[in-house]
Structures are given as structure tokens and as C-alpha cells.
Amino acid sequence: MMRRYQVVRNQTLALIRGLSAEDCCAQSMPEASPTKWHLAHTTWFFETFVLEKYEKGFMPFNPQFRVLFNSYYESVGPIPSRPDRGLMTRPSLQEILDYRGHVDERMLVLMTSPMMEEDLITRIEWGLQHEQQHQELILSDIKHLLFQNPLRPPYRPGFSNRDAPPHQPPLAQPIEWFEHEGGLAKVGAPSEGFYFDNEAPRHTVWLEPFKLCHRLVTNQEFRAFIDDGGYEDPRLWLSEGWAECKKRELRHPLYWQKVDQQWLEFTLEGNQPLNPIAPVLHVSYFEADAFARWAGYRLSTEFEWEQIVTRERFGEPEISAIREDLIPLLPAVEKNMGFSGFFRLGWQWTQSSYAPYPGYRPLEGALGEYNGKFMINQQVLRGGSCATPLTHTRVSYRNFYPAASRWAFSAIRLASSL
């Protein structure tokens, strides 16, 4: 546990290498947060949900931080205005790093105890899983921030040159399908191992026969949709998606730019020529759904997805292969097309709305606000992306975003009824 704690916490710090204090302070939109805020809030989480309960003679590092870095836990106390997180130039980045170090020391002391209560262990694991979620958010948010800069600065130059794809990337290949004959199926987290409350309880669903595509939609395929007038044909779109298109004058995925007749894509390495065989990323649910309709298919449900991944055992080899490497191989992954793409190439929008499973019970206390209160007007995404820590991927994992969101590393996998 102690080792995992250190690895995960250090991993967060590794993400800010090369970022200035200025980079870490700015907030590009209300939905995104400054890097510094992520660094502080994840620390606040351990202080509030672990130390305050289990540390003898608990004293907060700084009583003001108890309020400043509360994200949305109404039960804990007042919450600063979310869109103003970028205005908190104080405390400084260095003070936040001190805060992290301070809490880490106290956490490590706590973890030396030979007999940790079950509840304590659970809370620490929640804290680590929470931190890993924010690791991905750090990358999503900093990418969005840097994109607002007319200079289009890279997050980390030369980020993905570390290794080459191991073999012929499947995204360049013709589409193949995993078929499923339907029937009763078990979904949701199995009882062992960590899972969030929203992945439980494991329960039964009935599936009709369907098939699921063996790879993600590529940039090249999405260009064909654009070239065919996909953004101008209302019949392809959900009504709300069409209104969004018109209002925001959408014409392409979030980070694409057409410069001198050439398509560029803003990446963590800065602007790059659009890679035709890379998965199309940063599309909204509306775009994913319209693309699928245009292609004659549909998006899968979250349970169809889960069944195929379970049956084909994609979750296991992918994850085990890299289990020794607890630090996400972010650079490698971005160019590496060697995986099936279920977990490492992009979160896959599903047509399932984010709803509680039958018999769902949120945790007791303030942690009960972690997931349950967001179960409305969001769509479930499954899998993982190049920005997802590898030890944070699970077959039963449910990511979720509003249908219009585009700044997550979201992708498209096609499905069809049989």
C-alpha cells in the first residue's frame, strides 16, 4: 500500500515536469481546473477523508485550504466558485507542493501501522483512485489550456518519440466485428478488487444479438464524414446536437485546424499533421452518434461493450502486460497502435446514459457525493485513453461526460444490432 501510495503520488508530480507556475495556475473554462488546483485538491482529499479521521491529534496543514480545495462535497462545507479557480494565484505552486509533501509525510506515518482498519485501507485506495482520475484530468485540462494560446505551445515536446509501434497498426486495417448472440449476462464489478460505487452491484441484464467493431474509428474515416457534408446534414444529428453544431459553428473535432488546406491536430506535443490512422479523438457524443448514423451503424451500450471485453479477455492481457510499469507510459501509448484500443486509445462513448445500477447505494457520509449525484444528463464512456493511468483501467469502469463535452480523450467505436 505504501509503495503504491508513493508511486501514484509521484506519478502526479511527474506530470508537471516542464510546466511553469503560470501554466499550472490558469483555467481555460469553468469545466476545467488549473493543474495547481488538481495538485491541491487530491491532497485535500487525503487530508479530509483519511487524516482527519485516522490521524491522532489531527491538525490541518492550513485551515483555509480545507475550504479552498473542496471540489463539490457540500457535506464538508462551503465550496469556492468553480469558474474562479484560475484566479487563485495564492497559495503559490510552491506552497501547494509543500502541502503535498507535508500530507505525504503524515500519510506515510499512518501507513506504517501494522494493523490498518479495513475502512482506512479502503479510504486510502479511494484517495489513490481519485488521484489517478485527476491525473487524466490534468492532461485533459492542460491540453485545453495550451490550445487556447495562439502560439499552440506543446505540453511536452518530443513526448511520444520514445518507441515505435510494435507492429502493423490495426486502425489501418479493414473493419472486423465481434459478434454476440445476446441473452442474459452479468455486468458490473466482481466482488474482489477495487471499484467505485457506481460500478456495483454486479447484476443481470438481457442483451439482444449485436456486434461490436474490433477497432476505433480513425481520423481518416472521420474526414470522410466531414467531406461528405456530415456537419451540414441535420438528419444525421440528434436535435440537441444539431442545435449545438449551429450555435458553436462546429465543423470538426475539437483540436483539428485546417491551415493552408492541410489538417493539423493539436496534441500534447503541439500541432501535428493529422495522422490518418490514429483514432479520432475529442469528439462529443453528438459527433460520435452522428458519425455512427452516417456510417450505417450505432454506438454500443455500455453492457454490450463490457460483454465483449470480458469474453475476449481484452482487459486482462492489456493490463497485466504493463502491470509492472505502474507509471503510465503516456508517450509510448500515444503513437502505439499495437493494442486493441479498448483501454489505451480513447474513451469510447456509449449510448447508455449514466444511471444507477439496480440496488445502487452510494457510500455513507460525504464520499457518497463522489458519484451518485452526477447520474443525470451524462453519457457513459468505457475503456480508457492515452492519458489514463494503466492501473486505473477496469472492465467495469464507468467514465461519464455530458453529451456536448469534447475536451476529454473521447473516441468512437461502432456497433450494430444483428
Contact footprint for its own copies (CB under 8 A): 20-26, 28, 36, 64, 67-68, 72, 74-75, 80, 84, 86-93, 145-146, 148-151, 153, 184, 203-208, 210, 234-235, 237-242, 285-286, 289, 351-353, 355-356, 358-359, 368-369, 373-377, 379, 403, 417
For residues 264 and 274, what is the distance between their CA atoms, to the nearest angstrom?
A: 5
Residues with Cβ < 8 Å from 47, sequence gap 6 or more?
60, 61, 65, 66, 103
| Comparison of 245 and 280: residue with beta carbon closer to its own copies | 245
Cell of 246: 449551429
Shortest distance, position 152 Cβ to its own copies, whole Å: 10
Find the shortest distance in angstroms from Cβ 205 to its own copies.
6
Instruction: CB nearer to its own copies: give 162 or 202.
Output: 202
Q: Which is nearer to its own copies, 20 or 262 (CB)?
A: 20
* Least spacing, CB of residue 345 vs its own copies, in Å: 25
CB of 133 to its own copies, least distance (A): 16
Q: Which is nearer to its own copies, 67 or 121 (CB)?
A: 67
Nearer to its own copies (CB atom), residue 243 or residue 277: 243
Q: Least Å distance between CB 225 and its own copies?
A: 18
Cβ neighbourhood burial of 105 (10 Å; 0-12, 13-18, 19+): exposed
Three-state helix/strand/coil letters over the chain: CHHHHHHHHHHHHHHCCCCCHHHHHCCCCCCCCCHHHHHHHHHHHHHHHHHHHHCCCCCCCCHHHHHHCCCCCCCCCCCCCHHHHHHCCCCCHHHHHHHHHHHHHHHHHHHCCCCCCHHHHHHHHHHHHHHHHHHHHHHHHHHHHHHHCCCCCCCCCCCCCCCCCCCCCHHHCCCCEEEECCEEEEECCCCCCCCCHHHCCCEEEEECCEEEECCCCEHHHHHHHHHCCHHHCHHHCCHHHHHHHHHHCCCCCCCEEEECCEEEEEECCEEEECCCCCECCCCCHHHHHHHHHHHCCEECCHHHHHHHHHHCCCHHHHHHHCCCCCCCCHHHHHHCCCCCCCCCCEEEEEEEECCCCCCCCCCCHHHHHCCHHHCCCCEEEEEECCCCCHHHCCCCCCEEECCCCCCCCEECCEEEEC
Tell me the angle at which helices 93-111 and 118-148 cross, rounded to the nearest 10 degrees. Answer: 160
> Rounded to a whole number, what is the distance in angstroms from the first to the last CA of the chain?
46
Nearer to its own copies, 79 or 326 (CB): 79
Q: Which is nearer to its own copies, 5 or 291 (CB)?
A: 291
Which C-beta is closer to its own copies: that of 257 or that of 353?
353
Q: How far is the CB of 115 from its own copies (least distance, A)?
A: 33
- Measured from the CB of residue 13, what is the shortest distance to its own copies in angstroms? 18
> Which is closer to its own copies, CB of 101 or CB of 356?
356
Q: Rounded to the nearest whole angstrom, what is the least distance from the CB of residue 116 to its own copies in the complex?
A: 29
CB of 296 to its own copies, least distance (A): 12
Looking at the Cβ atoms of 13 and 87, the one nearer to its own copies is 87
Closest approach of its own copies to the CB of residue 203, in Å: 6
